[in-house]
Structure 1
């Protein structure tokens, strides 16, 4: 029996979250400020969404545009943010930081992961900007809670990243390749059959759930179309 593919939808607020769940989303990624590619939302936004839906929620831990964690005070702010989200009931997260050379900022990631105390989390598209994807995966191998990589396979999106995504899917189960590949970033419906055939089991959409653009809320019908495609309907 095949396992149902995971559909994760970006939610900016309660209206998005309710629509995404109604359309068949399995999980939400909670962010604010898509002009900066998604930052940590206020705790109040998380609490409102958590009260409105019963699907899984992953909260972004990112306080500034770009993929640098910042200086010691910035990392301390991230830790305090994670602590506040945990206190409000958040139990799944999204994070990822690189150093100036494009390597993983392991010190910052480990500090945050320690604060998460075993919660499940996704390493996001910082991997698509990494100098060495394989090295990054192996450095993060074994960190508590890491169960997914959100990736397009390329900084420019899935069209360019498909060969990388297919190659990494073929390595699933090797050290560093146990976490689920969740494809997102320029993902289109026509990409789905080939990715599913390669064993990819998780898909992430943002703009694709909003036919009217980022100024409009998530469309139940748009999410439903993706649900149908993932389920082979």
Structure 2
């Protein structure tokens, strides 16, 4: 059972690796669902991590119907991830009718070259997930990250199970969204998946010594930092181990 952890800062990357992650999905701004991380973060992650780094390629938050200019950005970001030495990239593209955009997907796959490719939860917005899955398989992606078109992977387990059966050994289906140590065994048993995805997030207080009139930088609490919780990843591993899943 492979465990992928999504992170959006270097501290979380280190925590996730120590806690037993098998692979990292490297993102910026997980609070927005994850966007492309900056070049410095990618380079440092590749330099210091001893597990595979898959870089999120998403130029903005929101839907997955991109303009030609946004597609150009995605192509450049894939190039930079490849040159930096990442093992893979993560992206998803839909057209105006919420079908897989075949032309854009082909272009992104060509730019990815020998990198591993995960097609992310854009499939959860697809108008026909079964047709979308066939298109993704044909394009050569190695896995799909999905919540089964539901709010979370447990709620979408029945659809994920159908995806697993449809894909067979042609591609890996990886449940994600709302996965934790309390529900992971149920999700794996119901879906038959061999990989799982989570953030395992927690928060820690700022290490700064703050004055009473400290300004804020945005709508979020700048002094409660969101990081990967080592205990969350470890607890998930233990839950899988107790259920006789190899991890």
TM-score normalised by L of structure 1: 0.88
Distance 2:105 2:165 in 1: 26
Aligned to 1:189: 181
Identify the match of residue 211 of structure 1 among 202, 209, 212: 202
Structure 1 residue 67, shift from structure 2 partner:
3.2
Identify the match of residue 54 of structure 2 among 54, 58, 66: 58
* Post-superposition CA distance 1:77-101 (Å, at most 9, x none): 1111111121111230100011111
Question: How is 1:89-104 mapped onto 2 (pairs within 5 angstroms)?
Answer: 89-104=85-100
- Which structure has the greater CA radius of gyration? 2
Distance 1:216 1:188 in 2: 16
Q: CA contact under 8 A between 1:129 and 1:155: conserved in structure 2?
A: no
Aligned residues: 223
Change (3 A) 1:83 1:42: same
Aligned to 1:161: 156
Distance 1:172 1:68 in 2: 23
5+ residue gaps, structure 1, are none
Question: How is 1:170-189 mapped onto 2 (pairs within 5 angstroms)?
Answer: 170-173=165-168, 178-189=170-181
Structure 1 residue 69, shift from structure 2 partner:
4.5
* Post-superposition CA distance 1:180-220 (Å, at most 9, x none): 111111223343223333421111111xx123388322122
Measured on the aligned residues, the alpha-carbon RMSD in Å equals 1.9
Does the alignment pair 1:45 with 2:37?
no
Which secondary structure does the structure 2 equivalent of 1:217 belong to?
Answer: strand
TM-score normalised by L of structure 2: 0.84
